[in-house]
Structure 1
Amino acid sequence: MSERPPISPRSPRAALEPEQVPPPPKRSERARNPFVVVGNAVITIILVLMVGVGGAYIYGKQKIEAPGPLREDKVVNIPARAGMTDIADILQREGVIDNNRWAFIGSVFALKARSDLKPGEYSFQKNASLRDVIGTIVEGKVVQHAVTIPEGLTSEQIVARLSENDIFAGAVREMPREGTLLPETYKFPRGTTRDQVIQRLQQSQKRVLAEIWERRNPEVPMKTPEQLVTLASIVEKETGKADERSRVAAVFVNRLRQKIKLQSDPTIIYGLVGGKGTLGRPIKRSEIQQPSPYNTYVVDGLPPGPIANPGRASLEAAANPARTRDLYFVADGTGGHAFTETYDQHQKNVAKLRTLEKQIQNDTVEPTDDAPPGAATAPTDTNPTATTTKPAPAKKPARGSAPAPQGAVQSTTSPPVVQR
């Protein structure tokens, strides 16, 4: 075992002096390099920023995904030309977002949606998050309003309905031709122009008419799709019962084939009032033989054009009528019609209806001076504001019970005419 070297004694003075500590090692030239110093500072800043950004990301994600303040579904209209801050104010005022609108604005930037915000009427769901709200606006999921156009209205009546509906904008610049609009239920967003609505109805009619014309019975006497629409419009005005349309169409097709006048009252009315659609009273004796291109008591065959806008079912019925020999039909008192091949049987059906009418005398009024003898005079025109799917009331009178020229057609949707 080696011995430690002896410790030399220190003098009293030396013992009182502080012990000399060796100086620290000098920093290397590399550590003193300014690039290294700057690099270290940059790394430190980056680390701090990463921590900050990470924290902000977590907070922002939670904020964007958190349920919103809406307590129930709500529809909100974002007007055109509204900026991002305007949209934030509207959503805040409507309670879709909370009082911190900057959270919405920040979320828009975070989702890179600033240039994709679209105006429109939007439905926001209960407790919709900021992501849901922004996504709805960006995707343009506007509210679609269902608008029903009833069958059997004239173009003028349809335009009037569109003009009264406040979800549409602008005015119809040109009245569409009769029979070129397809009655159906459509969906439109608020702000759709009325001209755009008309265009859509016309496009639908063209498409449906082309499909039906393609699969029509080749034996029907209509030579053009336009003639098919004309016949369908008469069928539409003559009955509102779905199960009768093809049979009513068969009566008129049989008459066309046999060169018998159609004698349809709605054609008289259209010749008198045109697009207004309603007469507001029974047809007068003098109007039955009044010359008019639309009066099928006077003209042979079809009138020159449609008298209304028929629906799909009436177009189908005109293209593929029932295979019957019927030439007459009259109201049966229950909202439907009784169909016959012979005039004698037809007259018996008329007599039955007259007997039934006597039982509802309380519903009749005194005839006007120009009305036919014995005819009820309460207005019985088809109601233009009601859908034609509703059957005609049973109290609607039929035509006269006296012998009529061959081919007299009976209808529940038209007013009574002179007894013959």
Structure 2
Amino acid sequence: MWRSIASNFLTIAIVLIAGVAGIIAWGKNQYSGPGPLADAICLKVPNGATFRSVAADLADRQAVSSAYILKVGAEYEGKTAKLKAGSFLVPEHASMAEIVDAVTRGGQSTCGTEVNYRIGVNGSDLILRELDPATTNYVEVVKFDPAQGAAPEEYTRATGDADVRYRVTLAEGVTSWQVVDALTRADFLSGEAGDVPPEGMLSPDSYEVTKGEPRAELLADMQARQEATLAELWATRAEGLPYATPEEALTMASIVEKETGIADERPLVASVFINRLEQGMKLQTDPTVIYGITKGQGILGRGLRQSELRGRTPYNTYVIEGLPPTPIANPGRDSIAAALNPATSDYLFFVAKSLVPSDGHVFAATLAEHNDNVAKFRALEQQGGAGN
């Protein structure tokens, strides 16, 4: 009899163990397998939230099959104490494990509201936008220029949330003065900007910043990126270039940047100016003359006068020999690369193809050919009104 009892007990124990193992395996599969979420959502985790409240929110929104399993899985992985506040994109059919990783990994929020302060050559604007989880595209809420007055109510209200992300984007060709001037109006930054950095030494790029970040630290980051880019590209430069220093190459890059916004043209434009330097010709480029007038503090807003083209300034390349003393703007990586690895050509001249800047330029090796190209462009100007 005792053998029978022991055998039955052992059988029951085995069944129970198998059942528990099956439940555990099922739970693991629920935790790591694809979730039930049909469409992506933006999950907001407020300050002070717990995994219990987050799990309940996810279950209510049908993003997980079980709030309990998500909480137990997070506890098993030792992540319940690592919950981060913020807004997080939860893709369709995301597993519980993927969701837990997203809300405990840290770093910038991946969903919700973003402020992008774009500093451009002809002005700046501040854009408040929201991520659409379904398309993962940003939808513009409001756009305004901080230089033109107070911020709209939508902006003030939205930026009261702690999980708003901030970004500063520099356009290629902005001057250092323009950058510093614009940053003084960024209400999400702190502290003084300090002295205007050397012209050309700020990297046109997109910078994620935190609310309250010091302006001086952001400018230092911009300068460090440009220094790294210049050093990297200088090390792989073509042989025989007419530059004594990386700074001279940066000056050339800034001229290329201001002459064309078309990436494919930059190596050709660089070749024109390098050919001119090598043949002892003056560069004769309007953007340097304009910089000598404005000192990079805004745009000229009109055409150049003949007296300005004849006037002797350190930046008037119709008068001086060689390069101007400094860059005339902050060039992007492509323009620096073009200055250090230009195209091989015999071109000495170029002029716009049409009144549309995106149409680019037509290049010429001889003055006679160039004059023909200029005559064609002047005819277009007369037909279409004001030129470039």
The answer, yes or no, to whether TM exceeds 0.5 is yes
Q: Give the 3-state SS of the residue equivalent to 2:42 in structure 1.
A: strand
What are structure 1's unaligned runs of at least 5 residues? 1-49, 365-394, 397-420
Specify the SS of the correspondent of 1:359: helix
Of 96, 103, 114, 2:80 maps to 114
The corresponding residue for 1:386 is none
Alpha-carbon distance in structure 2 between the residues aligned to 1:89 and 1:171: 40
Q: Distance in 1 between matches of 2:314 and 2:246?
A: 20
CA distance in 2, matches of 1:320, 1:62: 55
Matched residue SS, 1:123: strand
Amino acid at match of 1:264: T
Residue 379 of structure 2 aligns to a residue whose secondary structure is helix
For normalisation by structure 1, the TM-score amounts to: 0.59
Q: 2:361 aligns with which of 337, 345, 349?
A: 337
Matched, 1:132 2:79: no
Q: Are 1:328 and 2:349 matched, yes or no?
A: yes
2:49–2:85 CA contact under 8 A, matched in 1: no
1:198 Cα shift? 4.6
Change (3 A) 1:343 1:93: same
- Within the alignment, does 1:354 sit opposite 2:378 as a pair? yes
8 A Cα contact 2:200 2:254, kept in partner: yes
Counterpart code for 2:383? Q
Pair 1:197–1:290, CA change in 2 (3 A)? same
Identical residues among aligned pairs (%):
39
- Give 1:245-394 correspondences, 5 Å limit: 245-333=266-354, 335-360=359-384, 363-364=385-386
**Residue-pair matches, total:** 315
CA positional deviation for 1:231 = 0.6
For 1:301 and 1:163, the matched residues in 2 are separated by 35
Deviations 1:262-312, CA, capped at 9 Å, x for gaps: 221111222222334421221233333445333323433222211112122
- In the alignment, which residue of structure 2 is the partner of 1:173? 193
SS in 1 for 2:296: helix
Q: Deviations for 1:200-238, whole angstroms, at most 9, x for unmatched residues?
A: 544443333223212223322111111101111101111
Residue 216 of structure 1 aligns with which residue?
237
1:75 match = 42
| Alignment pair present for 1:205 and 2:229 | no
Quick one: which amino acid aligns to residue 351 of structure 1?
A
More contact order relative to length (CA 8 Å, sep ≥ 6): 1
C-alpha separation in 1, matches of 2:204 and 2:62: 37
For 2:265 and 2:224, the matched residues in 1 are separated by: 28
User: Residues 120 and 197 from structure 1, CA distance in 2 versus in 1: closer, same or farther, beyond 3 angstroms?
Assistant: farther
Residue in structure 1 matching 2:252, options 205, 210, 231: 231
- Structure 1, residues 383-413: CA drift from partner, whole Å, max 9, x if none? xxxxxxxxxxxx42xxxxxxxxxxxxxxxxx
Task: Answer whether contact 1:69 1:95 (CA < 8 A) is retained.
Answer: no
Alignment CA distance shift 1:290-1:126 (3 Å): same
- Determine the C-alpha separation between the residues in 1 that align with 2:373 and 2:21: 88
What is the alpha-carbon distance in structure 2 between the residues aligned to residue 190 and residue 122 of structure 1? 17
Question: 1:250 offset after TM fit, Å?
Answer: 2.5
Q: CA deviation at 1:59?
A: 9.3
State the secondary structure of the residue aligned to 2:295: helix
Give the aligned partner of residue 88 of structure 1.
54
Change (3 A) 1:187 1:121: farther
For each residue in 1:48-98, what CA deviation from the matched residue of structure 2 results, as whole angstroms up to 9, or x when unmatched? xx99x999978976875687675521233546x645379739956994778
* Residue number in structure 1 paired with 2:175: 154
Provide the TM-score with structure 2 as the length reference: 0.63
The alpha carbon displacement at 1:252 in A equals 1.9
Give the C-alpha shift of residue 165 in structure 1: 8.4
Matched residues in 2 for 1:190 and 1:70: separation? 31
Q: Following superposition of structure 1 onto structure 2, how do residues 23-38 of structure 1 map, counting pairs within 5 Å?
A: none
For the pair shown, which has the larger CA radius of gyration, 1 or 2? 1
Segments of structure 2 that go 5 or more residues without pairing to the other structure are 1-16, 115-166
Letter in 1 for 2:79: A
Cα distance 1:287–1:114, how it changes in 2: closer, same or farther (>3 A)? same
Structure that is richer in strand per residue:
2
